[in-house]
Amino acid sequence: MGQGSVSDRARDSDKATTEVLISGGGMVGLTLGIALAGAGVAVVVLEPTDPAMATDAAFDGRSSAIARGTQRLMAALGIWPGMAAAAAPILDIRVSDGRIGSAASRLFLHYGRDELAEATDEPLGYIVENRVVRAALHARASALPGLRLITPARLAKAERGAGAAPAEAVLGDGRCLRAGLVVAAEGRGSPLRAAAGIPVTTWDYPQSGIVCTVAHEAPHHGVAHEHFLPAGPFALLPMTDGPMTNTGGGTHRSSLVWTERRALVPAMLALDDEAFGAELQRRFGDSLGALRPAGRRWSYPLSLMHAERYVAHRLALVGDAAHVIHPIAGQGLNLGLRDVAALAETVVEARRLGLDPGDAAVLARYQQWRRFDNTVLMIATDGLNRLFSNDSAPLRLARDVGLAAVNRLPPLKRFFMRHAMGLVGDLPRLIRGQAL
């Protein structure tokens, strides 16, 4: 695999050939490349961002929730060992309703791993910094001879023609590649999706997400907090402790995902650390002691997007190129990696049967497999955001009663827990922890 330039083999011909070309080498695209290459498929991944920049702490301040099913996928692909030490286990989840400056409602919903029907020591999931995930992906990708990462590189256009002819892709510098299947893993603004004329349903929420790492005095004990406020959910998610301090202990840390009215976000970001910490305290309370930001803060406008189709001739969409959801349940990356698991299994099975992985019938199976799951979670997260992001007294009462009712119904509670863990539905082999 060549990083920084195309490999020598790609220079040998004006039109080098590969089985699958993936445009976008982020967390979803590179995971797909690893899954396919590990199963013997020749893969080329194009990524415009240099790996050294993508794994730097200043590039992306987000952390991701890794559901149990997603962790099994990463373990099956050999990615998990490169990130396990920096993954904080989620042992409990506490969901509550509240107001700024007031204590959370005494009616709440609690998920604990000991409440699952099966006996296991596995956590509900993990929280891992995105830069750690990317570093583990690049380390694993470099060990797979069937995967060629061309970076920094961007896809200028892809001619997908018709019939049995392969797709022909042109890079930004004029070099060409032929591929049986092109995969768009470019994110929500996917040029490949637009060029294929695939319509999208989209709307903006009047909210932005503020993310950063928060240091706190008391340990979190593996508890993920989702506190619903009138402007939107306010989540503190457990991270591994930071570097050792002068007193001999590591800094207790959590990942902040704060949904706030978009118009208010610039003022919040402009606050100094002390004032910003005070705003965190007003919203979360004192259960973790004093809160303060640790490092840089980022903000992202929140929106919903869903592609009308996930496939076209010799083209498949994965991750944010196909769907973007509200971060209320922390499921965005998990959905994208379930796309990866389904598409990789579909392509590998087709290849073993001697079928063209870019064939319309093969791609239709992938679309059918993933579209329902993604649609259901998109509707659920949008509905939860609309239900909880307001201060209506009747709705507040209904929410509190609903949370308390679910908390007292173990079968329903276990179903919701397993859904959040990515263990419900027609699961691909990788999500079950099995090899392709």
Structural domains for the chain: 8-202+303-432 (3.50.50.60)
389 pLDDT higher than 80 = no
Report pLDDT digits (tens) over 358-376: 999 999 999 999 999 999 8
Mean pLDDT for the stretch of residues 365-390: 88
More confident residue, 10 or 221: 221
Cα(235)–Cα(227) distance, integer angstroms: 6
pLDDT at residue 47, as a whole number: 95
The pLDDT of residue 256 is above 50: yes
Q: Is the dihedral of CA 214, 220, 224, 229 positive or negative?
A: negative
Give the least confident one: 161-175, 179-193, 307-321.
Answer: 161-175
Over residues 282-310, the mean pLDDT reads 94
Q: What pLDDT band is residue 110 in, cutting at 50, 70 and 90?
A: confident
pLDDT value for 386: 80
Identify the weakest region by mean pLDDT among 167-171, 340-344, 408-412.
408-412
Q: Quickly state the pLDDT bin for 7 (edges 50, 70, 90).
A: very low
Residue with tokens 């910094």: 129
Instruction: Give me the mean pLDDT over the 263-279 stretch.
Output: 96
- Predicted pLDDT of residue 113: 72
What value does the mean pLDDT take over residues 6-22?
64
Q: What is the largest CA-CA distance in the chain?
A: 69
pLDDT of residue 308 exceeding 50: yes
Could you tell me the pLDDT band of residue 55, with boundaries at 50, 70 and 90? confident
Average pLDDT over residues 126-152: 96
